Amino acid sequence: MKDKRFFVAAALPLPRKTGFLLLLPAGLFLTIFYLYPLARILSSALDARLLLQQATWNTVGRTLGFTVYQAALSTFLTLAIGLPLSLLFARYEFRGKSLWRAMMTVPFMLPTVVVAAGFNAFLGERGWVNLTLMRLLDLQKAPIPFTGTLIAILVAHVFYNTILVVRILAHTLEHLDPRLEQAARVLGADDWQTFWQVTFPLLRPSLLAATSLVFLFDFTSFGVILLLGGPKFATLEVEIYVQGMHLLHLPLAALLSVVQLLCTAAQAWLYSRLLNRVITPFSPRPAAANIRPARRWREKLFLVGMLSLVVVLFLFPMVSVPVRSVVRMEAARGERGQVHYGLTADYYRELFVNRLSSLFYVPPLEAARNSLLYGLATVFLSLILGFPAATALARGNRWARGPDILFLLPLGTSAVTMGLGFLLAFRRAVTSPWLVPLAHTLIALPLVVRTLQPAIASIPPRLQEAAQVLGASPWRAWRTVEWPILRRAVLAAATFAFTVSLGEFGATLLLARPEYPTLPVAIYRFLSQPGGLNYGQAMAMTTILMAFTTGGILLIERLRSPAGGEF
């Protein structure tokens, strides 16, 4: 009788009671480590003495104004570069097209500290461009001021988010009906009139979606601004970190976090309202109908120009890091315009040496070990909590929609805000190293659930029914039928969680104890210190982190379930 009941349950959606039990561990985790810290942030922000001070609102207004300004400017530049690149990938066929697209995709998945180190190695004061120009032009000072400027922030944001625009707009352009543009040209419209009056109205919903996503990422940016902009460029994220960690003004940091959450929620609401008003229906066509080789000289010039931009903007900064980690390239003292070059492995050897014999020194190798341990703990916690939750959401009915939205909430909250919430909610445990993997799990859990959910939902009930008919117990049916189908998705989810933990910077910078830094925190410390040796060690650690992250990305793509999913 027991086996019969399981047979029926396996073939039908999960009952509410079973689904509730499966969701309970992850729900308790989100309540304790997400909702409760957010409530603590809200209660700290409602400090009457703080709210009545004029200086408080001056800080909030100034910080919010610059955050919106840099996000809007970054979004505009990203769209200005992403739109022609979208036309390139959507309308023209050229050699290595998938490789070029992958070259633009990988940077989006890299940790911010890696991106900052890449631009430092390429355009920084000790980067390739400046040191080469110092030698060619006989200069003693770097001719291109990049690090610590608004331009550095904007360029890094364009580097990060252009692929979002390309992915969204190119997909729409590829499937537009080519007969619409052909009809416009037959009626006498030139290329610009055809684009503005025919293509652009159809592209507008996708353009709005891309603009909204890019602005959101730029609005909540932290690592890029902290590492490349410096303290004088205080966005909400940076000011939360400064007020909370350096000035120990937790109520003001909490108020800034609430302002940021309200702005993010308002943007999501405005986006949903506007999107419903601008959607224009059209009949999609296969992508092959719009793709052709470049024939005219203007098209070939456009192709070469755009691909050259991709190389300069996306390839050079990333290649500069591993090359800079094995090349000693410094301006010689007392010799005007002279730069000494040479291959060296010293920067990697120094990762194992405490040169100053400091009691407070943490070797980079220990930072790598900490990142590994935190990553493994994150994988364990994410899978233990995420697998039952994904099963309940995949096999639930209408009752699963509410919990499904709950699992998406951490994705819309910045890591710095979550780190501050942990500090406010768990002050007595602030010295515990377990806070870091708990925060990493909070960030990785939605991604793990979204990776496992479509794979679980894709299993046909008839396979489970066949196993039960043949006499298999529930455990054996799961082990012999479901697990062989799910193990690739589970491995991809585990790799996802490990990669997220390995590169997480915002929350870790607030929560990690000084004696237990992670690789991103150690890289930030070395980049903040003067000296060629510190800089070289930062490049070596960044190369290691980049290799692990890129390997994780490639493994995820290889193991991705055919059922798809958002991530």
CB 142 within 8 A of CB 339: no
Measured between alpha carbons, how far is 567 from 444 in angstroms, rounded to an integer?
A: 12
CB 519 within 8 A of CB 543: no
Assign 2 a pLDDT band (cuts: 50, 70, 90): very low
* Average pLDDT of every residue of the chain: 78
11-48 pLDDT, tens digit per residue, is 346 667 777 888 889 889 999 999 899 898 888 888 76
Which two structure tokens, joined as six digits, stand for 558? 């290889």
pLDDT of 71 above 90: yes
Highest mean pLDDT (candidates 71-85, 136-150, 384-398, 516-530): 71-85
Using a 10 angstrom Cβ sphere, with 0-12 exposed, 13-18 middle and 19 or more buried, the burial of residue 463 is middle
The number of beta carbons lying within 10 Å of the beta carbon of residue 45 is 20
> In the chain, what is the greatest distance between 2 CA atoms, to the nearest angstrom?
90
The DSSP output letter for 292 is E
84 within domain boundaries: yes
* Span between the terminal Cα atoms of the chain, in Å: 40
pLDDT of 66: 92
| CA contacts within 13 A on the Cβ side of 528 | 13
* Total-model pTM: 0.78
Are β-strands 339-340 and 330-331 bridged in parallel, bridged antiparallel, or unpaired? antiparallel
CB 157 within 8 A of CB 74: yes
Range of the domain at 139: 68-233+286-344
207 within domain boundaries: yes
Q: Residue 334 to residues 133, 339, 535: CA-CA distances in angstroms? A: 17, 11, 21
Measured between alpha carbons, how far is 161 from 85 in angstroms, rounded to an integer?
A: 13
Which two structure tokens, joined as six digits, stand for 340? 């000494």
By mean pLDDT, which of 199-208, 209-218, 283-292, 482-491 is the weakest?
283-292
Measured between alpha carbons, how far is 346 from 536 in angstroms, rounded to an integer?
A: 8
Cα Rg, the chain, nearest whole Å: 26
392 within domain boundaries: no
243-274 pLDDT, tens digit per residue, is 887 777 888 888 888 888 888 777 767 666 65
What is the distance of C-alpha 431 from the center of its chain?
27
439 within domain boundaries: no
pLDDT of 272: 62
140 within domain boundaries: yes
Measured between alpha carbons, how far is 108 from 164 in angstroms, rounded to an integer?
A: 9
374 within domain boundaries: no
Alpha carbon dihedral 211, 454, 101, 111, in 10-degree steps, equals: 70
138 within domain boundaries: yes
CB 180 within 8 A of CB 280: no
pLDDT of 285 above 60: no
In sequence order, which ranges of 513-565 are alpha helices (DSSP H)? 519-528, 532-559
Which two structure tokens, joined as six digits, stand for 175? 């499937």
Assign 1 a pLDDT band (cuts: 50, 70, 90): very low
Report which of residues 198 and 501 the model is more confident about: 501
Highest mean pLDDT (candidates 128-142, 246-260, 479-493, 544-558): 246-260
Report which of residues 168 and 482 the model is more confident about: 168
Which two structure tokens, joined as six digits, stand for 214? 């890019």
pLDDT above 90: percentage of residues in the chain: 10
pLDDT of 416 above 90: no
Measured between alpha carbons, how far is 18 from 187 in angstroms, rounded to an integer?
A: 63
87-130 pLDDT, tens digit per residue, is 888 888 888 887 788 778 777 777 888 888 888 888 888 788 88
Assign 157 a pLDDT band (cuts: 50, 70, 90): very high
Rounded to 5 degrees, what are φ and ψ at 329?
-135, 95
| Total structural domains within the chain | 1
User: Residue 92 forms beta bridges with which residues?
Assistant: 292
563 within domain boundaries: no
CATH of the domain at 216: 1.10.3720.10
Which two structure tokens, joined as six digits, stand for 222? 């932290």
Which two structure tokens, joined as six digits, stand for 301? 């010039």
| b (16+ CB within 10 A) / e for 375-398 | bebbbebbbebbbbbbbbbbbbee
What is the distance of C-alpha 165 from the center of its chain?
15
The DSSP output letter for 15 is P
